[in-house]
Structure 1
Amino acid sequence: MGIGATRNLKAAEEVAKITAIESRATGFNWNYSPLADVNTNPANPVIGVRSFGENTDLVSQMTVAQIKGYQKNGVIATAKHFPGHGDTSVDSHLGLAAVTYDRKTLEEVHLPPFKAAIAAGVDSIMTAHVIINAIDPELPATLSKKVLTGLLREEMGFKGLIVTDAMSMHAISEEWGSGPAAVMAVNAGADIVMATGTLPEQLETFDALNKALKSGQLSEKRVDESLKRIFDAKLFKYKLFKDRYTNPDKAAKIVSTPAYKQTAAEVARNSITLLKNNKVLPFNASDNKTTLVVGPKIYGSTSYIEDIAKAADDKSAGSITSFVTATDSTDTEIGQALQLASKADRIIVPTFSASGLPAGQAKLVKALQQSGKPVVAVSLGLPYDIQSYPEVGAYIASYAVERWGSPVPTSWNAAVEVIFGTQPGGKLPVSIEGLYKYGYGLSY
């Protein structure tokens, strides 16, 4: 979503190019990226900032740019999660999601990024563990011949690799079992089954496919079709049987390339989206004021807020105080934060939500805002957090942490730079209902 906020297709391609070069150097030749999901549901618990945004054209263009960046540099790109996971309200890692929109919505909103990916020559597409009622109301896309063979192969003309999403996810394993589902997926049209999970689950998948082939439940013809596509990619296009080993010294040098880090920092700065500023920002980096950084644990870790405090310390001539609350800040912690605020001159409050913002975090921001000190809130995950504390004096979206807490320090470092005067470059890649429209973004 941060890349989407830059609106810069060249930057999107460059990020993918660098990722591909670093991936090949360290021995990886296939990336399950980019997301072609159009995140039309703000409450989506699993896609969120992994998507480029809510606009179909933006997602399509960014998807194509990244496919070019990966595949021109020797890494297979994967458009996912077909035919779209952006309008779900269930995390398919935990349960089976279904979308009830009609075929027209599917065609106009969710399929265009995949059509654009196919036109751009994407070499693989990943399936969604989601029931698409308009195509097959009974089976999720991963297991549906109507979706994988009927829609993707026959209607849309995709000739590349179809890979399933992880078969250990509860949407599949709890409903059908990893082994039986693997057979169903291949019969539906999948070429590669992502056999994740425990070793027994992986063995169950392998044994089920092996037995299905021997019994005739899975035909040799069907398996050979997939093998041909796999060998076409591995042998002929990507030549993966040449230079099969990586050089660790060379890899270390490539992933430490200063120009790559500079590019990442520049893209991050251009992604930071300033949505509100009531004469709060920028903070003066050269004065001797005390800055309080206070925010929540994220997935049990204090390191996110501590790292942001360190970034602020690197920028500010004044002193930095930091305090980490529980993920859902308690009244006692809010009281402690207010005591610290009384001794500070200005306040940075990072918040984090992967779906809905915990009530305690919103209460913390509101309490600090009432302290009378200049307050800037920084959303680390979804940009919608401000809906829970619209009265805050200044607000920045950084898109720096996704659903599982995977951090992008480059992004929150850029947010700190913006707080202390660097020009923000981002435009909102989603709309925030009742507050800000798609494309909104302030500058100094």
Structure 2
Amino acid sequence: MSSEVLWNAPVADRPVDALVRVPGSKSLTARWMFLAAAADEPSVLRGALVSRDTRLMRDALERLGAVLEVEDGALHVTPLPPPAEHPAEPVEIHTGLAGTVMRFVPMLAALHHGDVRFTGDEAAFQRPMDAVVDVLRQQGVEVTEHGEPGRLPLTVHGTGRLPGGRVEVDASASSQFISNLLLVAARAETDIELVHVGEVLPSLPHIDMTVETLRQAGVEATHQLDAEGRHAWSVRHGAIRPLEVTIEPDLSNAGPFLAAAMATGGTIAVDDWPETTTQPGDAYRDLLTRMGGEVWREGRTLCVRGTGTLRGIDADMSAMGELVPTMSALCALAETPSRLTGVAHLRGHETDRLKALATELTKIGARTSELEDGLEIHPGELRGDVFESYEDHRMATAGAIIGLRVPDLRVVDIGTTQKTLPDFVGMWLSMLHPEPAVDDA
């Protein structure tokens, strides 16, 4: 391991006190970009996140024929052209480690007449893709798997059509296996009825987010339980109207900053926190209150104050699994043990997040046990050490949170935070060392 990739996490020498503005939601940016590319006419997206994941999404959509251009700070999207009469030249799309690109775009590739090969970072080859392949094949789309079945790399042999109809999918490993088909369903030749047949359904708020974006794009989409009590969605085929939207700030990316208030007994205000939202990050308001923080609103700003009390928590995180790394970092700093459950699907994220968190937290002194579907965290006397990020942006920010209280904590590859938050380090240092106000002369 070379010293160049180690970042010395700064220790807070005083309670933090800062106003934070986080960029647009990664999840919403991906969905709006996708829908704009699939729409009938050009769209305008304001506040879109610019990060590695969204650059990969933009590149994927452009390779399929959409045109995305920035004008006056807004992203203008010209949709995909109709499928060619004859197969186009083969296309290769690099997904990086972006789940939205590797799980969403293959459905759009089915509407492209020609071969589209999907590859990605080495770690992406471990992420499950079997449900994507299964749904495509249910729709009559030929898929070639070049390596391990149900994993990248693979090629979608698009014919320019999706027939629609009834589709069954096991989305136990990721809610993205539901959202991917919902996002393209209006472009099918008939209505789509999608039924989840797995034992568990993680991150339902992310699917609710998808349904809400569809409705805003004029697509008729409903969610209900079928006769057997299973989650089911219906999407009517038809037009996707052009969009003109402003994308909410990313509430999950606000989490590390809110956690900093809790960890240091300080105050963090996050600007433009929406009154109502489908983002799972909104759960921080309840979770941090339960851990002993004070949470309130001042207009469009959400404020969190650490009170000096940091209680452990027993929480079902199934609806907001992406918050687990941040919450785990706080649990390691808490006064009493914690249990975070309902998140077995985190084993298939950028890394096996449960194993990674258990390994790294135990290494620095917070004995952490893997449960079948979560973690049990026992705080202890924490010590500085190398905190591995596993190329996972949320592991990296978890290390930064702990480093506020633990000297000599060195995070491997803090640059991986560019996946969703391009200037995390700059924002973190600005929070810790705000520039003094200058009085007018």
Q: Same fold (TM over 0.5)?
A: no
Name the TM-score, length of structure 2 as normaliser.
Answer: 0.27
Higher strand share: 2
Which has the higher relative contact order, 1 or 2, with Cα contacts under 8 A spaced 6 or more apart?
2
TM-score (structure 1 length as normaliser): 0.27
The structure whose residues are more often helix, as a share, is 1
Which structure has the bigger radius of gyration? 1
